[in-house]
C-alpha cells in the first residue's frame, strides 16, 4: 500500500468518524468544536464515505488484472455519468414535480414527487393576467413571429450560402471576410441604434412583430449562413455541373439539386433558430410593449414579478407550459441538433 493511499485512508476515516460522532452527539448539549461537528454531521459523513470509496477503488484497482480493471473503471465511469446526469436533470424534474405541489410543499420538501398532488398551480396558470393576456395567447404570440423567422432565416441563409459557396464574383473574398467578421460582432453594440432606427420605421410595438421578423429576410444570422456554406463545401460541384448540362438554370440547380443535399443542414438551422427565437428575451423586451402582444418569455416574466413570493406553483406551471413545445421539438429531433452543432464548428 502506497503512502498516498494511506494518507487518504486516514483522512477518510477521520471525516467519517467526525460525521458519526456528530450524529451520536446530536441533541446533546455540546459546545465549541463538537457543536460544529454536530452542525455539519451529514456533510462530514458524506465526504468521509466518498473519500473511503475512492481509497477502496484504488486498492481494488491495484489488485485486479487487466480485464477486471477494465470492468472496474467502466463501472466508475457509469457512476460518474449517472451522478452528473442526475445533477443536470434534477432541476427540471424538480420543476415538473413542483408544479403539482401546493405552495407550502414546494419549499419544504426536496423530493420531486408531490405528497399531495394538486392541480391548483395549473388551474391558476390558466387565468388571464390583467384581463388581456394569458399563457395560451402569449404562446400563440411567440409562434406568430418564431415561425416566419425560422422560414425566412432558412430560405435567406440558404440563398446567401449558395451565392458565397458556388459563385466567383468580384469582391467575393472581401465580402466573405465581412460576413465572417460579423460572426464575432456582439449584438449589444447594435441594439440601441437598431432600436432608434426601428422606432423611426414604426416597427417598435408593431402587432406584426416587424422588428423581430424583417431582419431575418436578409440572412442576418451569420452563424447559419456560415454553417450552410461549410456544409455546401462537402457537396461535389459535379452535381451542379451535371444539372447545368441538363438545362437547369441557377435557381433550378439550387432547388432541385442542392436543397435535397443540404436538407439536413437546413433542418438543423431551422431547429436552432426555432429554439433561439422562442427563448429570445432581449428582442421582445425591446420591441413588444403592448401586453396583449406579449410572447411567452415576457408573459412568464410578468407572472413571476406579479406572483413572486407566494404563488410559486402557478409561476412554475406557466414556465413549464411555455417550454413544452421546445422540449417536444428537441426530443423529436435530437440527432439533428447534435449534427447541427458539429456541422458549424468543426472543420472538414
Partner 1 sequence: MQRTNTRPRRSRLDQGYMGFLLILPWLVGFLIFKAYPFVSSLYYSFTDWNLFSGGSWIGIQNYVTAFTNPKTVKALRVTFVYAFMTVPLKLMFALFIAYILNFKIKGVGLFRTAYYIPSILGGSMAIAVLWRAMFKNDGVINRILTILGMENINFLADKTWALFIICLLRVWQFGSPMVLFLAALKGVPEELYEAASIDGASSGRQFLKITLPLISPVVFYNLVTQLVQAFQEFNGPYIITQGGPRNATTLISLIVYNSAFSEYNVGMSSAMAWIMFVIVMVFTAISFGTQKKWVFYSDERGDR
Q: Do 164 and 178 touch, CB atoms closer than 8 A?
A: no
Which of the residues 222 through 261 are near partner 1 (CB under 8 A)? 225, 244, 250
Based on the shown chain and the rule CB under 8 A, indicate whether residue 342 belongs to the binding site for partner 1. Answer: yes
CB nearer partner 1, residue 109 or residue 118: 109
* Spatial contact of 219 and 156, defined as CB atoms under 8 Å apart: yes
User: Site for partner 1 (CB under 8 A): which residue of 8, 20, 267, 326?
Assistant: 326
* Residue 320 in contact with partner 1, rule: CB under 8 A: yes
Decide whether 3 or 87 has the Cβ nearer to partner 1. Answer: 87
Q: For 101, which DSSP code?
A: S
Q: Which of 116, 173, 200, 347 binds partner 1 (CB under 8 A)?
A: 347
Binding flags for partner 1, 274-303, as an x/- string (CB under 8 A): -xx-xx-xx---x---------xxx-xx--
Q: Which of 56, 60, 68, 78 binds partner 1 (CB under 8 A)?
A: 78
Q: How far is the CB of 188 from partner 1 (least distance, A)?
A: 5
Per-residue binding string, partner 1, 37-76, x by CB under 8 A, is -xxxxxx--x---------------------------x--
- Residue 86 CA to residue 56 CA, distance in Å, equals 24
How far apart are CB 157 and partner 1 at their closest, in Å? Answer: 8
Site for partner 1 in 120-149 (CB under 8 A): none
Residue 130: left (phi > 0), alpha (psi -120 to 50), or beta?
left
Q: What is the DSSP string of 285-344?
A: HHH--SGGG--HHHHHHHHHHHHTTT-HHHHHHHHHHHHHHHHHHHHHSHHHHHHHHHHH
Cell of residue 167, nine digits: 459563385
Number of residues that bind partner 1 (CB under 8 A): 98
Residue identified by cell 398532488 is: 117
Separation of alpha carbons 233 and 230, rounded Å: 5
- The reply on whether position 310 binds partner 1 by CB under 8 A is no
Our CB check for partner 1 shows the closer of 32 and 91 to be 91
Contact in structure between 266 and 158 (CB atoms under 8 Å): yes
The torsion defined by the Cα of 42, 46, 52 and 57, in degrees rounded to 10, comes to 160
Q: Which stretch binds partner 1 (CB under 8 A): 48-56, 57-65, 255-263, 273-281?
A: 273-281
3-state secondary structure of 133: strand
Q: By CB under 8 A, which span of 8-16, 126-134, 258-266, 336-344 interacts with partner 1?
A: 336-344
Rounded Cα–Cα distance for residues 313 and 238 (Å):
59
The three cell numbers locating residue 34: 463538537
| Interacting residue with partner 1 among 9, 55, 98, 266 (CB under 8 A) | 98
Contacts of 290 (CB under 8 A, 6+ apart): 205, 207
Footprint of partner 1 on 166-225 (CB under 8 A)? 166-172, 175, 178-179, 182, 184-197, 215, 217-220, 225
Nearest partner of 145 among 346, 294, 302, 320, judged by Cα: 294
CB closer to partner 1, 7 vs 89? 89
> What's the min distance (Å) between Cβ of 292 and partner 1?
18
Q: Select from 49-57, 82-90, 143-151, 257-265 the region that touches partner 1 (CB under 8 A).
A: 82-90
Using the contact rule CB under 8 A, the part of the chain among 55-63, 121-129, 259-267, 326-334 near partner 1 is 326-334
Amino acid at each position: 500500500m502506497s503512502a498516498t493511499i494511506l494518507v487518504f485512508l486516514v483522512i477518510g476515516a477521520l471525516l467519517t468518524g467526525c460525521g458519526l460522532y456528530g450524529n451520536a452527539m446530536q441533541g446533546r448539549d455540546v459546545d465549541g468544536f463538537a457543536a460544529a461537528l454536530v452542525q455539519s454531521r451529514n456533510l462530514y459523513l458524506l465526504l468521509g464515505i466518498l473519500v473511503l470509496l475512492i481509497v477502496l477503488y484504488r486498492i481494488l484497482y491495484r489488485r485486479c488484472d487487466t480485464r477486471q480493471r477494465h470492468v472496474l473503471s467502466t463501472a466508475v465511469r457509469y457512476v460518474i455519468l449517472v451522478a452528473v446526469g442526475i445533477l443536470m436533470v434534477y432541476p427540471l424534474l424538480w420543476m415538473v414535480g413542483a408544479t403539482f405541489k401546493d405552495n407550502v410543499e414546494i419549499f419544504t420538501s426536496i423530493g420531486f414527487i408531490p405528497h399531495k398532488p394538486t392541480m391548483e398551480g395549473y388551474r391558476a396558470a390558466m387565468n388571464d393576467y390583467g384581463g388581456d393576456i394569458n399563457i395560451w395567447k402569449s404562446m400563440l404570440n411567440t409562434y406568430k413571429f418564431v415561425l416566419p423567422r425560422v422560414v425566412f432565416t432558412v430560405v435567406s441563409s440558404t440563398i446567401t450560402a449558395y451565392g458565397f459557396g458556388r459563385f466567383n464574383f468580384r469582391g467575393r473574398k472581401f465580402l466573405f471576410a465581412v460576413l465572417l467578421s460579423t460572426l464575432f460582432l456582439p449584438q449589444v453594440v447594435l441594439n440601441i441604434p437598431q432600436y432608434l432606427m426601428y422606432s423611426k420605421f414604426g416597427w417598435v410595438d408593431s402587432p406584426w412583430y416587424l422588428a423581430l421578423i424583417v431582419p431575418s429576410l436578409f440572412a442576418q444570422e451569420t452563424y447559419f449562413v456560415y454553417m450552410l456554406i461549410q456544409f455546401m463545401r462537402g457537396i461535389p460541384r459535379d452535381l451542379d455541373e451535371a444539372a447545368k448540362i441538363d438545362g437547369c438554370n441557377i435557381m433550378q440547380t439550387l432547388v432541385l439539386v442542392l436543397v435535397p443535399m443540404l436538407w439536413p443542414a437546413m433542418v438543423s438551422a431551422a431547429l436552432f433558430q426555432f429554439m433561439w427565437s422562442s427563448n429570445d428575451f432581449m428582442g421582445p423586451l425591446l420591441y413588444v410593449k403592448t401586453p396583449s402582444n406579449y410572447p411567452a418569455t415576457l408573459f412568464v416574466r410578468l407572472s413571476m414579478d406579479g406572483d413572486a413570493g407566494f404563488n410559486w406553483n402557478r409561476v412554475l406551471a406557466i414556465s413549464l407550459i411555455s417550454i413544452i413545445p421546445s422540449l417536444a421539438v428537441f426530443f423529436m429531433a435530437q440527432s439533428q441538433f447534435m449534427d447541427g452543432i458539429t456541422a458549424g464548428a468543426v472543420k472538414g
